[in-house]
């Protein structure tokens, strides 16, 4: 039996505590910076006013509105597609079926495609070929492609969490599979859908690269879906890179974005744990 050496043990403990503290410290550093330089800029008028002087002064009112519209478009498109696809994967495709496997694999790939490639695709396909130009519609459609995998994964988990008795009962009553799906399983899958929805909103809200060249840069209040509208994240990018002296408002906008995201992600993990059980992970 080897003798127990305490030296390396203590050294390792020290090193691990050090690394952990370093990581926590860096996270703290970022958050404290955001609070310290951003909190002063956030006020009711900041949230409602239009930006002035290329964003150095004024607020983010129209940008918030554009962001909401972009999100709305992407969800309106992605939800029906996502629910349909999830229903197919969970209820029709047997786990080993080639088509189900192919769809699942392409979903995994889609989830890993870098956002800038979505941006490139969206710019050429939606903006140029379909002629939507730089518009909220083009940006929303591009984001819809991006959030599909998240939405489908969560909704599928929702379908799978529906008790087997529902399916047997429906079959015993002579209901067709479609009817069973619509009346029994879909309601049962709603929690999964909600989780996916919230996670999808989180991903869409954080997205920048896919939006710069699809929904564009314009800071005016959008008057239709075909107008260009600047999202929050694009605003931060523009202020940081292209507007000297824009840091103050960039900090404030970043703070608003982070608070929104924390609220959304918090809701998502709470809902996932409450409704889908512990075993469900992204």
**Footprint on residues 84-143 left by other proteins (CB under 8 A):** 84-85, 88, 99, 102-103, 106-110, 112-121, 123-125
Q: Which is nearer to other proteins, 49 or 247 (CB)?
A: 247
Q: Which x/- pattern, by CB under 8 A, does the window 29-48 give for other proteins?
A: xx--xx--------------
Query: Which 3 state secondary structure label does DSSP give 156?
Result: helix
Residues 149-188 that bind other proteins (CB under 8 A): 149, 152
Q: Does residue 259 bind other proteins (CB under 8 A)?
A: no
240 binds other proteins (CB under 8 A): yes
- Cα separation, 200 vs 98, whole angstroms: 27
* Contact pattern for other proteins over residues 49 through 88, marking x by CB under 8 A: --------------------------------xx-xx--x
Residue 145 interacts with other proteins (CB under 8 A)? Answer: yes
Cβ neighbors of 119 (< 8 A, separation 6 or more) are 142, 209, 210, 211, 212, 213, 214
Distance (Å) of CA 92 to CA 84, 88, 148:
11, 5, 19
Q: Is 71 left (phi over 0), alpha (psi -120 to 50) or beta?
A: alpha
269 belongs to the binding site for other proteins (CB under 8 A): yes
Q: Pick the binder of other proteins from 180, 181, 193, 212 (CB under 8 A).
A: 212
- Determine the Cα–Cα distance for residues 264 and 191; give it in Å rounded to an integer: 15
Alpha carbons 279 and 157: distance in angstroms, whole number = 10
Q: Tokens for 271?
A: 């809902």
Figure out which of the listed residues 208, 218, 243, 267 binds other proteins, where binding follows CB under 8 A: 208
């Amino acid at each position: 039996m080897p003798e127990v050496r305490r030296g390396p043990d203590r050294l390792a403990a020290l090193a691990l505590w050090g690394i952990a503290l370093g990581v926590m410290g860096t996270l703290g550093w970022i958050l404290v910076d955001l609070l310290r330089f951003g909190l002063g800029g956030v006020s009711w008028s900041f949230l409602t006013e239009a930006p002035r002087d290329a964003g150095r002064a004024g607020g983010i009112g129209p940008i918030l509105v554009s962001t909401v519209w972009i999100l709305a478009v992407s969800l309106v498109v992605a939800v029906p597609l996502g629910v349909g696809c999830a229903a197919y994967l969970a209820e029709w495709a047997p786990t080993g079926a080639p088509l189900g496997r192919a769809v699942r694999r392409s979903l995994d790939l889609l989830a890993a495609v870098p956002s800038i490639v979505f941006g490139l695709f969206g710019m050429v396909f939606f903006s140029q070929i379909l002629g939507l130009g730089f518009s909220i519609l083009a940006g929303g459609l591009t984001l819809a492609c991006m959030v599909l995998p998240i939405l489908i994964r969560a909704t599928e988990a929702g379908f799978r969490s529906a008790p087997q008795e529902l399916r047997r009962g429906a079959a015993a009553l002579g209901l067709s599979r479609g009817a069973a799906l619509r009346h029994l399983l879909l309601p049962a899958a709603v929690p999964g859908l909600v989780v996916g929805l919230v996670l999808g909103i989180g991903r869409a809200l954080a997205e920048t690269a896919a939006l710069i060249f699809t929904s564009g840069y314009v800071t005016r209040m959008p008057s239709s879906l075909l107008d260009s509208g600047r999202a929050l994240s694009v605003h931060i990018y523009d202020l940081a890179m292209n507007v000297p002296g824009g840091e103050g408002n960039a900090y404030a906008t970043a703070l608003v974005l982070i608070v929104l995201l924390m609220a959304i992600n918090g809701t998502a993990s709470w809902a996932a744990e409450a409704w889908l059980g512990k075993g469900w992970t992204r």
